[in-house]
Amino acid sequence: MSKNLIIVESPAKSKTIGRFLGKNYEVMASNGHVRDLPKSQMGFDAEHDFEPKYITIRGKGELLASLRKEVKKADKIYLATDPDREGEAISWHLVSALNLDPKKTSRITFNEITKNAVKQSLKESRDIDMDLVNAQQARRVLDRMVGYSISPLLWAKVKRGLSAGRVQSVALRIIADREREIDEFIPKEFWTIEADFSVDSTKKMLTAKYYGKDGKDELDSEEEAKKVVKELNGATYTVEEIKKGERTKKAPLPFTTSTLQQECAKVLNFPTRKTMQIAQQLYEGVTVKGHGTIGLITYLRTDSTRISDEADAACKEYILNNHGKDFVTDKEQKKTSGKNIQDAHEAIRPTYVDITPAQVKDSLSRDQYRLYQLIWKRFVASRMSAAVYDTVSVKIEANGHHFTSSGSSLKFQGFLAVYQDGEDKAETNPVLTKLKENEKLKLNELKSEQHFTQPPAHFTEASLVKALEELGIGRPSTYAPTITTIISRRYVTKEKKNIFMTELGEVVNKIMVEEFPGIVDVNFTATMEALLDDVADGNVEWKTVIRNFYPDLKEAVDKAEETLEKVEIHDEETDIVCEECGRNMVIKYGPHGKFLACPGFPECKNTKPYFEKIGVKCPKCGGEIVIKRTKKGRPYYGCENYPECDVMTWQRPSGEKCPKCGNLLVHKGNKLACSDDKCGYVSDKA
């Protein structure tokens, strides 16, 4: 009997696949990549058409030796690494590292680790797709070019340990641009009016919102609000119009990598990295009571929402049996996008829809269960009918002014029977359905309230992933490592769910924007991703991309080495005396910014917070306003006499007081604004 060797990436995957195949199949794992560019050098030869120089990864020698032994015994070798560019490249490297005979070596891929999928892939084995390999080579060389060219510059000009990256630097710029928008945002005042009515026919309350007069529905000041209230005094309130209708809410699409990361961040509070780690475990296989070791979900790196015909039919049969025919959709939803969606994979879905979350709960960790439940529910919901709501909208008139009140009630659950995203709650005030046109209403109270427009929200991991996807920056496999890198490098910090720039991140971003504008240009990076897609499709030769990119990068690096001044983050001596040894303390730079340390380290390990004065006096107590930082490194401005004095602002104070209320004026772009948003004072003088 012939012997077959299947090589996968992970031991968990090999264990799962081993269950499906007979004794004439041996399944082994490569534990990821076996060859890579050397860490000690650029890794390609610019003088010889950018040919990569691959070496065996340190520590892989013993593993490769054991693989070679099995290769010699095998009549046929199947390379079953992950079904993407990275997996294709790993298979290609295995061919070289193991010196595999092309005549007895084949590539197989499967989107889900099930018996049928694996056996079908063996029937459809193929040669390695060099277009996919070359797309991965192009990305690897491009990333190495950027990282190994610019990172040493940051070490020399700022501090060691920093890094730049083709995708991470763009992500950092996107965050920095958002922070600047927030800092420069000037709130705009507006007012709302609500009316509370008694309805005689029901003896219940009805609240309606002011809708305007003569086409104007915005109230920009308290004076305008008071004027409206005055005109409404003694007015007769009449139900002018009642509209009843129906609206539907479509079922959600099944998860892609991006939408899974976003939903997990919002619903489960998972960082992107954790989401991918747990999804990888569910994909590669877990031991489930009654089933053995099985892969519970399909491949986790995808930007497609396509579902196979078999999975679609199985899901609809499950819905029919458990919810009824009215809950089964007869429409196919598709993702609309201007981008070239890589449709080689399906969306992320359970491999067996009849294995419900409840059945596997006892076999999974808490986090594995929560993630599987989310994926399972989303997939089942995607094959269900839309939810249907009854809607009612009422318009109320008084002295030419209009108020509106509306609501909806759930008429048919549809997909909501399985999946709710927190935005699906809808309740109609029963009063609305009882009203009649021309009915007079009794006013109980008019309430006017001041509001201010809000700045853009700080990025969270979820919203950053969404922005990267919409802008075409990176691909499903890059979102999590990109965010992980900029957090681990201390370029940004997280407080609760929000992402903020650190002082170090601001320094690095400033250098990148000024010295390497092309690298951190969003459009350029998106275009580069599209070019890599063209390489994968076989439309562009991969070295053409490299040849066109390298000269401009080298020119920018050479120029920056000559012109860029060293950023002074050094041990600056202060007049603050160390109370433990009497030396003058120095300013050091740590992960979250500057701090005071004794120069006698390691003999004296005394450290203190460093508060940098900005030359502005506190308007409350006359002390100095200094730059402080939260525990996570986010900068703010506060009085040196805290906690006795609680003056604090996120924006840099100007030193001038607000002529309106006496608070500090702070810089917001090219304007000065009062630090108290409720005051609303703005000056054009910056």
Tell me what pLDDT residue 576 has: 81
Tell me what pLDDT residue 8 has: 95
Q: Where are the alpha helices (DSSP H) in 383-521?
A: 430-434, 461-471, 479-488, 503-515
23: CB partners within 8 A, 6+ apart:
none
Q: Quick check: 637 and 629 in contact, CB under 8 A?
A: no
Tell me what pLDDT residue 616 has: 85
Report pLDDT digits (tens) over 365-392.
999 999 999 999 999 999 999 999 999 9
210 is an active site residue: no
Tell me what pLDDT residue 161 has: 73
Tell me what pLDDT residue 338 has: 41
- Per-residue pLDDT averaged across 109-135, rounded? 94
Give the pair of three-digit tokens for residue 550: 């390298």
Report pLDDT digits (tens) over 58-82.
999 999 999 999 999 999 999 999 9
Query: How large a percentage of the chain has pLDDT more than 70?
Result: 93
562 or 172: which carries more pLDDT confidence? 172
Report pLDDT digits (tens) over 259-269.
999 999 999 99
List the single range of 83-97, 113-127, 432-446, 574-588 with lowest mean pLDDT.
Answer: 574-588
Q: Quick check: 319 and 313 in contact, CB under 8 A?
A: no
SS3 337: coil
Name residue, tokens 């996120």. Answer: 650
669 or 19: which carries more pLDDT confidence? 19
430 or 55: which carries more pLDDT confidence? 55
Tell me what pLDDT residue 384 has: 97
Tell me what pLDDT residue 55 has: 95
Please tell me which residue in 283, 299, 352, 589 is annotated as part of the active site: 299
Residue 591 has pLDDT above 60, yes or no: no
Tell me what pLDDT residue 317 has: 96
Residue 105 has pLDDT above 90, yes or no: yes
Tell me what pLDDT residue 106 has: 97
| Distance of alpha carbon 601 from alpha carbon 409, whole angstroms | 68
Confidence category of residue 343, pLDDT binned at 50, 70, 90: very low
Confidence category of residue 432, pLDDT binned at 50, 70, 90: confident
Tell me what pLDDT residue 29 has: 95
List the single range of 142-156, 559-573, 596-610 with lowest mean pLDDT.
Answer: 559-573
SS3 489: coil
C-alpha triplet 406, 407, 410: angle, nearest 5°: 160
List the single range of 189-198, 238-247, 280-289, 586-595 with lowest mean pLDDT.
Answer: 586-595
Residue 4 has pLDDT above 50, yes or no: yes
Beta strands in 512-583, from DSSP E residues, in sequence order: 572-577
Give the pair of three-digit tokens for residue 565: 């001044």
**Radius of gyration of the chain, Cα coordinates, nearest whole angstrom:** 31
Across the chain, what does the average pLDDT equal?
88
List the single range of 39-43, 449-453, 609-613, 637-641 with lowest mean pLDDT.
Answer: 609-613
Tell me what pLDDT residue 333 has: 62
Q: Quick check: 396 and 286 in contact, CB under 8 A?
A: no
SS3 625: strand
- Per-residue pLDDT averaged across 76-105, rounded? 95
Report pLDDT digits (tens) over 541-574.
999 999 999 998 988 888 888 887 766 555 667 7
| Distance of alpha carbon 206 from alpha carbon 183, whole angstroms | 40
* Strand partners for 671: 668
- Which among 153, 167, 18 has a CA at the least distance from the CA of 526? 167
| Distance of alpha carbon 31 from alpha carbon 569, whole angstroms | 41
Name residue, tokens 């619903």. Answer: 267
Confidence category of residue 340, pLDDT binned at 50, 70, 90: very low
Residue 350 has pLDDT above 90, yes or no: yes
Residue 197 has pLDDT above 80, yes or no: yes
Tell me what pLDDT residue 169 has: 94
Report pLDDT digits (tens) over 494-530.
888 899 998 888 889 998 998 899 889 999 889 999 9
Residue 325 has pLDDT above 60, yes or no: yes
List the single range of 349-363, 500-514, 586-600 with lowest mean pLDDT.
Answer: 586-600
pTM: 0.81
SS3 447: strand
Tell me what pLDDT residue 422 has: 59
Q: Quick check: 49 and 61 in contact, CB under 8 A?
A: no
